[in-house]
Amino acid sequence: MADASGNIEAKNYGFDIPVEKKSFFLKGLDNFDWGIKDRMSRIFDVKSGKTVMLAFDHGYIMGPTSGLERIDLGILPLVEYADCLMCTRGVLRSCIPPDVNKPISLRCSAGTTVLTELNDECIIDIEESIRMNASAMAIMVSVGGKYEATTIRNLTKIVDLGMKYSIPVLGVTAVGKELARDSRYLSMASRVCAENGAAFVKTYYCEEGFNKVVAACPVPIVIAGGKKLDEDKALEVAYKAISDGAAGVDMGRNVFQAQDPIAMIQAVRAVVHDGAKPDKAFELYNDLKK
C-alpha cells in the first residue's frame, strides 16, 4: 500500500520550463501511434535517421538463391552490421537465434514463386508477427500488375491489423517485367503504398528523378538493391539514393553475393549512416576485404 504519511512533498513542477514539443524523426509519422514509432525507432537509427536493412527473404520465391544456400554461413556473420533483418518466418524460426536481438521486418505476403507469374498472394496471420516480435510487416504490392487488386487488398488488410497492434507495414513495390522502373512508375507505386497506410516503402532506385519519387512519398523510402552489381557500382547506387532523400537501404544480393559480404555491409553502412562518398566507401570495402 502506498505510504501517504511518509510521502515527500511534490514541488518540482518547472512552472517556467515549457514542455518540449518534438516532432518524430521520420517523416510523415508524427500522427502514428506510440508503438509504431517505437518499432520504427528500432529499425531506423535515431541519430542518422537512416537504416541499413539486410534482406534475405528471397528464398520464399526463388528457393536456395546464391549466397543464401546456408543462412547460418551466409547471413549470420552479417547480422551484427544490419539495423534490421528482413526475412520470412520460416528462416527466422529455423536459422536466426533470437538472442541476436535485431528488429525484424517480417515478410508477410506469400503465394507465388518464380516458376509462375504473380498470382494468388495471401498474407500470413497477424498472430505470427506478434509471436515473432516483428518490428514491421513487409507486404508485396504489384501496382499495375494483373493481380494489383489482390496485393493492394493485402496491403490494406495488413495495415488494418498492424494499426490494431501498432506494427508498422513496409509496402514493397514489385515491378512486373512489363513495367518500366522509371520515376513515374516508382512514384506512383510508392505513393499508392503510402496512401493505403504503409508506414514506410521499399522501392527501386532509378537514375532519373529518384528525388521526385522520394519527395512525393509522404513516408520514408528505403531502396532494394536489385540484381548483383559490381561492388563500387552498388555503393554508388546507395549513395545516390541517400543523396536523393532515401531513408536507407534494404539490400540483399548486393550484400550477400558480394565478394566479401562482411566488408560490403560495412561499406554500405558508411554510405548510409556517415554520408561517405562512393569512392571512399569502396576504399573502405577494399581495406576491409579479406
Which residues are part of the catalytic machinery?
202
Rounded to 5°, angle at Cα 49 from 133 and 184: 95
What x-and-dash track marks residues 109-148 binding ligand R5P by CB under 6 A?
A: -------------------------------x--------
CA–CA gap between residue 123 and residue 151 (Å, rounded): 9
Closest contact distance (angstroms) between CB of 118 and ligand R5P is 11
Least distance in Å: CB of 128 to ligand R5P?
Answer: 17
* 38 contacts: CB under 8 Å, gap ≥ 6: 166
- Taking CB under 6 A as the rule, does residue 58 contact ligand R5P? yes
Each residue 241-280 as x (binds ligand R5P by CB under 6 A) or -, in order, gives ---------xxxxx--------------------------
User: Checking DSSP bridges between strand 136-141 and strand 169-173, what pairing results, if any?
Assistant: parallel
Tell whether residue 176 is a contact of ligand R5P (CB under 6 A).
no
User: Taking the CB of residue 68, how many other CB atoms lie within 10 A of it?
Assistant: 23
**Cα 79–81–85 angle (5° rounding)?**
45
Position 39 contacts ligand R5P (CB under 6 A)? no
Q: Which stretch binds ligand R5P (CB under 6 A): 29-37, 54-62, 112-120, 193-201?
A: 54-62
Q: Output 29 or 251, the one with its CB closest to ligand R5P.
A: 251
How far apart CA 188 and CA 209 sit, in angstroms, is 13
Cell of 52: 541499413
Can you tell me the distance from the alpha carbon of 250 to that of 104, in angstroms, rounded to the nearest whole number?
A: 12
| Binding of ligand R5P by 89 (CB under 6 A) | no
- As measured in angstroms, the least distance from the Cβ of 99 to ligand R5P is 24
Q: Which of 102, 52, 76 is nearest to 235 (CA)?
A: 52
Q: Which residues bind ligand R5P (CB under 6 A)?
A: 55, 57-58, 86, 140, 172, 224-226, 250-254
